[in-house]
Amino acid sequence: MIYRSNRGWKGGAPWLFPAVGRNIIGGRPAWKHGENRFPMPIHGFAKDAVWRLARKHRAIQCDWSSDRRSRSYFPFDFTLRIRYSLAARSLRATVRVRASARNREAMPFSLGNHISLRAPFIGGNAAACWIRSPARFERLLTSRGLLSGERRAAGLRRARRVGDLGLSLDRVYGGYPAGGRWFELSDPESFGIRVRQRELAAGRTARASKTDYHFVVYADLGAGFFCPEPWLGMPNSLNRRRGIVSLEPGRTFGWEMRLQFL
């Protein structure tokens, strides 16, 4: 089900932190904090981290903390803890981001996952798969992969064939209602998958703005992959200071990605 290839995009489901998409200054991948400028790879640097792995109460737990390398991109200390657990017809991944009490100010970040699915899941034609989402609009991108400021109706409340949107896709969908932050991909010859995202506020006031939830569809149907990426944030969030969570020293932020099999 997860897309794998030795050519081009290798797929998988890497975590995106502390940035989703591109952050660019003067045409270079970077972001500015105070008077200092730092490099920032596309989707941040968590995707290249070495995680500590453990089994915890019928779940798989992965931990990673800031280090010398991360501080060259991001001048904050933090810990990420991700737990994977199975339930009936679903896979749940919960993320806990903890800002170190040693930080001198609130830590800004965006968060997401680059889940990459093989399309179709079983056989047949990838273009014949169906997609559906309650997103109200699509945010248009520039040639550099940044937001242009324009948008148009998403048109995905009723299921549409993937092939109707084109064989190569890079689209940002937003305007999700509370409780309806999901995106579906269905293979007519097998089954469907719904990817959901939400903040885990645990009764507290939500830190994330409702306008920060997006799904980014990145796909190459010729190569056979489709990525319905849940993003809490948007391109250039660190520079624009929009689409970020500001986490005070010693505080923790929770977020969940869930895959439901339909």
Of 110, 130, 140, 124, nearest to 194 by C-alpha is 130
pLDDT above 70 for 9: no
pLDDT above 60 for 168: yes
Express each pLDDT in 89-105 by its tens digit: 999 999 999 999 999 99
Query: What confidence score (pLDDT) does residue 202 get?
Result: 74
Whether the Cβ atoms of residue 97 and residue 77 lie closer than 8 Å to each other: no
Residue 117 identity (one-letter amino acid)? L
Of 236, 248, 174, nearest to 207 by C-alpha is 248
pLDDT above 80 for 1: no
Whether the Cβ atoms of residue 239 and residue 25 lie closer than 8 Å to each other: yes
Query: What confidence score (pLDDT) does residue 5 get?
Result: 61
Residue 51 identity (one-letter amino acid)? W
pLDDT above 60 for 7: no
- Band of residue 206 on the pLDDT scale cut at 50, 70, 90: confident
- Band of residue 248 on the pLDDT scale cut at 50, 70, 90: very high
Strand partners, 226: 117, 219
Of 109, 53, 58, nearest to 81 by C-alpha is 53
Query: What confidence score (pLDDT) does residue 195 get?
Result: 98
In this structure, of 5-14, 90-99, 141-150, 223-232, the range with the lowest mean pLDDT score is 5-14
Q: Show me where the domains of the chain are located.
A: 15-261
Please give the residue that has the higher pLDDT: either 98 or 119: 98
Domain 15-261, CATH among 2.70.98.10, 2.10.109.10, 1.25.40.10, 2.40.440.10: 2.70.98.10
